[in-house]
Amino acid sequence: MTLAELNGLSLDQARQVLSSCCGVTRWVDAMVASRPYHSLDHVLATAKAASLRLKPDEWREAFAHHARIGERAEGRDAAWSVAEQSAVARADDPTRKALAESNQLYEQRFGHIFLTCATGKSGSEILHELRQRLFNDPVRELTVAADEQRKITQLRLRKLLGTGDPGGARP
C-alpha cells in the first residue's frame, strides 16, 4: 500500500487496515484522524506519539490482539505474525515446550500474554528474554511490553507501506 492509498481509504477501511498494526481503538482513531500523511516518517512519528498517550488497559487491549509466542495467529495479521515468529517455528521441541510453559507462568504473573518484537530473534533468545522478564514487577513489565508493542507497530506500519522486510531485520 502507498501513502496515497492509505490517505484515500474510507474511515472504516483505514480503521481496519491500521488496527492490524496496533489493535487499540484510541490509537487507530488517532491515526485515522491524522491523515493525510506526507511521508513514512510522518506516519511513524504519529504512531509513536499516539502510543505514548495510551493507558495500561489500552496496552492490554493491544496485547490481546497478538498470538502467544509459538502459537499460530488468526485473522488479518496472521501472515505478519507468522513471519515475525518464524524463528520460533524452527525451534527444537524442548525450546517450544519451554516457551509454552514459560508463557503460562508469565500470563499467570502479569495477566496478559508475553509480548516481544520477535522478528530476527531465535526461539532460544525469546525464551531467555521471557524468563528474564518474569522477574520484573508488574508496573515495569507493562512498560517493557508496551515498548515491545511500539516496535511491532512500527515494523507493521513499515510492512503495510511496503518499506519493511516481511521477515527481516528488527525495527
d(Cα 80, Cα 62) in Å, to the nearest integer? 15
Place of cell 508496551: 146
In the set 38, 42, 66, 112, the catalytic residue is: 66
Q: Residue 60 — φ and ψ, nearest 5°? A: -60, -35
Cell representation of residue 5: 492509498
42 is catalytic: no
Q: For the chain, where are the E strands, in sequence order?
A: none
Mind telling me the catalytic residues?
A: 66
